[in-house]
Amino acid sequence: MRAIDINDYDYDLPEDRIAQYPESERDKSKLLIFKENKIEKDTFRNIHDYLTPESLLVFNNTRVIRARILFQKETGANVEILCLEPLSPFDYSLSFGSKESVEWKCIVGNLKKWKCGILTTPFKFNGNTYNLCAERLQSLGEAWSIKFSWNCGEISFGEVLEKTGHIPLPPYINREDDAQDIERYQTVYSRIKGSIAAPTAGLHFTDYVFEKIKARGIKTVELTLHVGAGTFQPVKVRNIYEHEMHYEHFSIDARTIELVLENQGKVIPIGTTSVRTLESLYWLGVKLIQNPSDTIPDLSLGQWEAYEMVKTVSVKESLGALLNYINEQKLIYLQAATSIMIVPGYEFRMTNGMVTNFHQPRSTLLLLISAWAGNRWKDIYTFALENRFRFLSYGDSSLLLK
């Protein structure tokens, strides 16, 4: 991986191919199928025709929060705060449910205009006007610790975000968020609040598609990985070994892990977030086998750890270790964090196919696609461009099978 040059993972993406709005109907988007080393196209609502009966589809049920809050100073200067993850309370659900002040790790836009003081923005609740206040506490590298408080004890922080925040559309969507994004920048199965970006491979699924999948004997399970700002972080270095990935938090219950183990060889993650979570699970199991004294706070996977650990542990042994850990700790579900970076040369342990959108040139997600498809990624993307596929978050989809 030290020899991987990001310049080798570039392609020409015209601006008019970057989808600025979603397709009129979710499952009417185009679908590229890469199967048995051949490339063809169809409509997404027919995806069940290309999936083997008794496959196990793994969905990320995270829900995008209205994480982008706009403040205006008395001078007229605008300051934008993007909420990344909770600091106090540390738990997402506790923070969203809090009716007292909370602290979050945030990115601040136009920081130079906010040298000191407390920012406020109004919101309405039960016919009355209240204020959300933001206080800058300390620097956290490129981010800041921000304390949020509001003068209405009847409403939780999650409800305050719903009234003051905006959907954090990706930077390559060159417009402000509007009413349709509230629904369309969420998957129909999103449940657990915490992401600042949608797991966009799932945006194409509808009740119709789920009915067809079920009728074909295809099983489904869910996990949760909250997508962070790192998903849009450009690779600014030529040697990808020097690129830093951010940790993302995920959770998964024991029954889902058991089903993944029982269906080895038939597991198809929906989206790169599910791919990274499943692959991280394997390596966390390996870590537990090698370091059985690990505790919950230490259950995390670093960016390059997967490339440094022993490769002889089977999936059965690894997931077995995780299940034992869950039982011994009497956990309802496993909570962990990962910053794994999947690059060409990586050997997939848990993934037998994937559904994913089309990714930016010179991005970590394109490296993951190359790790899966090898140099055929160039043929896949050329086919998509020549056949007028729409790209990136609101764009079309692909099914990549071995």
In a domain, 173, yes or no: no
Indicate if 119 and 31 belong to the same structural domain.
Answer: no
Does some domain include residue 261?
yes
The C-alpha atoms of residue 133 and residue 317 are separated, in whole angstroms, by 50
Same domain, 285 and 380: yes
| Residue 35 sits in the same domain as residue 119 | no
Q: Are residues 57 and 107 in the same domain?
A: no
What pLDDT does 379 receive?
98
Do 319 and 365 lie in a common domain?
yes
Asked whether residue 76 carries a pLDDT value surpassing 90, the answer given is no
Mean of pLDDT values over 237-245: 88
Residues 199 and 300 in one domain: yes
In a domain, 180, yes or no: no
Beta bridge partners of residue 86, listed in sequence order: 104
Residue 296 reports pLDDT greater than 60: no
376 assigned to some structural domain: yes
Domain boundary among 101, 131, 166: 166
Is the same domain home to 218 and 343?
Answer: yes
Half-sphere exposure of 80 (CA within 13 A, CB side): 10
The number of helices, as runs of H, and strands, as runs of E, in the chain is 9, 19
pLDDT in tens, 128-171: 999 999 999 999 998 999 999 999 999 999 999 999 999 999 99
Among 102, 137, 166, the domain boundary falls at 166
Same domain, 217 and 364: yes
Q: Tally the domains of the chain.
A: 2
| 295 has a pLDDT exceeding 60 | no
Query: Cα–Cα distance between 14 and 27 in angstroms, integer?
Result: 24
Q: Which residues pair with 401 in a beta bridge?
A: 353
Cα dihedral: 338, 374, 50, 398 (round 10): 70
CATH code of the domain in which 271 resides: 3.40.1780.10
CA distance 33 to 17: 19
Mark whether 60 and 73 lie in a shared domain. no
Is residue 298 included in any domain, yes or no?
yes
What's the pLDDT score for residue 297?
A: 46
What is the extent of the structural domain holding 107? Answer: 68-166
Confirm whether 46 is domain-assigned.
Answer: yes
pLDDT in tens, 323-358: 999 999 999 999 999 999 999 999 999 999 999 999
355: in domain? yes
